[in-house]
Structure 1
């Protein structure tokens, strides 16, 4: 068995772990990054990046038909799916390869293998070839991420797939059933629907995107119907049987059992933290009933020299949140004053239209005791949106009625994920409605929608009636 000593070990090279390792090295801390499978984690390999690549392809494919409104037509529209997958995999390879280079060039060391805690200062790393290395450390950052939740009734394999499998299909199926109408399921659903797949969404709750703003749910429900998804809410997938061409899924819906024949069944019912099989018990690291590791604002666990970040440390389970926490942990270990002091964290759903939110929802703000003023501005009233023939959606600003402080922003529409950045900065800086309404925004752009929504909340909108 090999042995080595290091100041800080980062276990997991996802968007939290590799960022932490880079920042630690920049701060002069002797750092070792341990990764068993994916540089870049789930996000870059089988999540954020490959899914957005396929989303871009599917939107581009669909846009060929939509461009007829501009007078642009094309004949014999086709897609070479093998080439699409090759391109997507190339994007992933470039980004993940770049991460390892960034880590090592910044001065951190890398060790490939699965890490298991032996105590509060020792980690055993088992490489794929069976080689074991005992690593002695002063500090440890746990950044092991999360995995798709699997339903025992529908074991993943063959034509039953999870989100990872859905990104690597070798064909565009004629039919697909999605168990789960949350953001992961709908993102994948829109990819394949745009490419011609008949998509059925089975959601146990009463709406798709449960937990989102009611106006978001309303807009998404309308779009799913327009795009001819079959959506079954308040429904439960019970069992399956194999058929000659795929599967037959039994779904309980409205008090009756319905059988749906499909080529693929994709299970997208959420994710769970990777807190098992890490040897956390050997170091007495506390794990709550949901499998998350509890941390304080400096990302410390109950064991002072062990930190946890990203999906392992709880909600929101988002890549950019993990990166932020990774930098916080690195700064703390390097002896700097740092803590997770962010007021809010934006979230984006890359459906069509996109959905982006930040801050409090309308319901959360009311529950917190705020009397509200709300400004909602439709993209249909915006020059840039009309000029692009992309007018679905709206910007909704939620503010305290008395102080006019902005509490939350909801955006549904084209490039919502890019637009939410301005709203996030505004909330982080304690912006008021006038900070947006009186700021000159460039014309014609989609960013004008934020200015107009702020004006609408004050009863001063120019391009829609107040």
Structure 2
């Protein structure tokens, strides 16, 4: 069978791959995309989107319990876990189907199957009907990543879960252990804790949400503990003894090991890139700790082969993958895009309270040799936050004392995942404190706190 030739072939249809394909098609390229499982990848099917749907249910449930505060009455409050999960799956399905529609609309040829790269410029796809041979001068790897499994802590889907099992729980955990307090771990801890699970989070680093600014981590931890979570920092789960209906975890902290019993364990200890069985090594692609090594333009060093998204390393965020996809499609089409600055990519965690940040933490800014000015503003000083009944939270800004450059912004509280973008735009426009101070923020909004946190860095806050 003759090989089919394309201007660009994308392997993987997650938020990196499908966006790369769309941008390529917009630029007039003849594009093929290969996907082995679900259009939309992990993000739409097993990650960002369905978890947000679950967390929204938990948030509404939490608010129902607070009805009295708002002068409302709600009796017999309860939940149906199956219905909560069903809603989440429905949301995922709707969006996943939408991706198929976008491929058709943009005249992108879709192949459902397993891809390998037998030689440079060639992709072999094993489909239900046999093997298709595709050729192109430009191939984009967007194969994503999967949950990291630690020896002895492997998931079994019954007592020990990965994020996939946690998204479609067979039962409601009564006593839950979450291993890892990054975004995935803390979001599931937040969801199950809100629905009534007795939740313990174990984190190997010295604080929860270890990539966040230390003050924000401390604030979030206080909120989690207040909600009944048990947080164990600088702790390691050494092994799990599995028995019928229960798991005994051996947890080491400060040189001592204690055992604790749980009925469910969620392992969220990071991810590994999907780099196997593609034929990358034979092509001469450099792989470092399960991630493809690339330059700032996502080039692999093998002519015409690019890698984007999770497979190309941190930060492991869908929006980073999409942006890289656009950049690579533009490169392939002969344009001159700017490389992505990882420091200007925001991270968002949808636990309760939400956490969002961009740029350098205060500690990292000092480490990098900056003299800093730091501003803070609490939610309790904001009219909209009090009216919403969400007076717990804070916004923190970090500026370079000499130049006024906004080095970083860090937030914890209601809706901060929506607010952070204001600072992201500010950073991409290379804003200084002067412009931010002169910006008029609408009232009453939560965004006014962003203004106040800037003013506070310069001793000019008005409402504290």
**Same fold by TM-score greater than 0.5:** yes
Shift of the 233–410 alpha-carbon distance from structure 1 to 2, 3 Å rule, reads same
**CA displacement 1:302-326 (0-9 Å, x = unmatched):** 0120111111111111000000000
Q: Which residue is equivalent to 1:155?
A: 154
Structure 1: how far apart are the matches of 2:459 and 2:67?
Answer: 36
Q: Which residue is equivalent to 1:293?
A: 292
Q: Which residue is equivalent to 2:316?
A: 317
Q: Is 1:141–2:140 an aligned residue pair? A: yes
**CA displacement 1:281-300 (0-9 Å, x = unmatched):** 23222222x22212223221
Counterpart contact for 1:332–1:339, Cα < 8 Å: no
Q: What is the DSSP-based 3-state SS (H/G/I as helix, E as strand, rest coil) of the residue aligned with 1:390?
A: coil
In the TM superposition, 1:327-366 aligns within 5 A as 327-342=326-341, 344-366=344-366
Q: Which residue is equivalent to 1:383?
A: 383
Structure 1: how far apart are the matches of 2:35 and 2:152?
Answer: 31
Structure 2: how far apart are the matches of 1:376 and 1:367?
Answer: 20
In the TM superposition, 1:68-107 aligns within 5 A as 68-107=68-107
How many angstroms does 1:193 deviate by? Answer: 0.3
How many angstroms does 1:207 deviate by? Answer: 1.5
**CA displacement 1:359-411 (0-9 Å, x = unmatched):** 11111211222111111010110000011110111111110112212111111
Consecutive unaligned residues of structure 1, counting only runs of 5 or more, are: none
Q: Is 1:65–2:65 an aligned residue pair? A: yes
**CA displacement 1:324-374 (0-9 Å, x = unmatched):** 000000001011111314461110111111111101111121122211111
Counterpart contact for 1:354–1:417, Cα < 8 Å: yes
Counterpart contact for 2:13–2:142, Cα < 8 Å: yes
Counterpart contact for 2:324–2:340, Cα < 8 Å: no
Counterpart contact for 2:11–2:143, Cα < 8 Å: yes
Structure 1: how far apart are the matches of 2:430 and 2:405?
Answer: 7
Q: Which residue is equivalent to 1:118?
A: 118
How many angstroms does 1:224 deviate by? Answer: 1.8
How many angstroms does 1:208 deviate by? Answer: 1.3
TM-score for both structures, normalised by structure 1? 0.96
**CA displacement 1:11-49 (0-9 Å, x = unmatched):** 000000000001111111011000000211111110100
Q: CA RMSD in A?
A: 1.3
**CA displacement 1:194-227 (0-9 Å, x = unmatched):** 0000111122222211232111111022112101
Counterpart contact for 1:120–1:282, Cα < 8 Å: no
Counterpart contact for 1:436–1:450, Cα < 8 Å: no
Counterpart contact for 1:249–1:260, Cα < 8 Å: yes
Q: What is the DSSP-based 3-state SS (H/G/I as helix, E as strand, rest coil) of the residue aligned with 1:78?
A: coil
Structure 2: how far apart are the matches of 1:463 and 1:66?
Answer: 27
Q: Which residue is equivalent to 2:249?
A: 249
Q: What is the DSSP-based 3-state SS (H/G/I as helix, E as strand, rest coil) of the residue aligned with 2:138?
A: strand
Counterpart contact for 1:434–1:454, Cα < 8 Å: no
Q: Which residue is equivalent to 1:261?
A: 261
Q: What is the DSSP-based 3-state SS (H/G/I as helix, E as strand, rest coil) of the residue aligned with 1:89?
A: helix
Structure 2: how far apart are the matches of 1:296 and 1:237?
Answer: 36
How many angstroms does 1:241 deviate by? Answer: 2.4
Structure 1: how far apart are the matches of 2:15 and 2:237?
Answer: 33
Counterpart contact for 1:117–1:282, Cα < 8 Å: no
Q: How many residues align?
A: 462
Consecutive unaligned residues of structure 2, counting only runs of 5 or more, are: none
Shift of the 123–155 alpha-carbon distance from structure 1 to 2, 3 Å rule, reads same
Q: Which residue is equivalent to 1:463?
A: 463
Counterpart contact for 1:299–1:339, Cα < 8 Å: no
